[in-house]
Amino acid sequence: MYDKEVKTVQDITLKYLYFMDKQHPLSDKKGRVWHHRHVASLKIGRWVSHSEHVHHIDGNRANNNPENLEVVTPSEHWDRHKVLLARSCLVCDKEFYPRKDKQKTCSTACAHKKNEKIKWPTLDELVKEVEETSYSATGRRLGVSDNAVKKRIDRLQREQG
């Protein structure tokens, strides 16, 4: 099926291994062939189609051992990965799939409830802590973003006049 020797290189961004061969049936316009797709094709005895995904069972994109690869449909691939992505909401404990990496609550309503539960220090204590550490460190301690700390200080200062 394919008997050329391949020399793999790791993609800096995606962390997948690839090799170059413009004549390869799986090559892209640049001649790059994703090594895991190549190995999975050899395993199943045919070239993996564009509509098929190759899943790394152990989650390690550099482990292209044939036993670690399985050819799946896009929806099957998502099902395998979404289990890893599921989180519990900090407020209601409901399982959800975050749209952003830093998302900690399942909904806007829970995010507002979370903010209501925060034990905010007084304005003077908050300003002092920010001066001694930083907005980010204060936010981490309170479980909010640095921007939330800035907004809280601004609001309290406006209220004091």
* 8 A C-beta contact, residue 64 and residue 35: yes
- Predicted confidence at residue 32, as pLDDT, reads 97
How confident is the model over 146-156, as pLDDT tens digits? Answer: 999 999 999 99
List of long-range contacts for 75-84, beta carbons under 8 Å, 24+ apart = 77/53, 80/55, 84/59
Lowest mean pLDDT among 101-110, 122-131, 136-145: 101-110
CA–CA dist 57, 67 (Å, integer): 8
- Predicted confidence at residue 101, as pLDDT, reads 67
- Predicted confidence at residue 84, as pLDDT, reads 62
Write down the H helix ranges in the chain.
Answer: 35-44, 74-85, 108-117, 123-132, 135-142, 146-160
The residue ranges of every structural domain in the chain are 9-84, 118-160
How confident is the model over 15-69, as pLDDT tens digits? Answer: 999 999 999 999 999 999 999 999 999 999 999 999 999 999 998 999 999 999 9
In percent, how much of the chain has pLDDT > 70?
98
CA–CA dist 62, 21 (Å, integer): 19
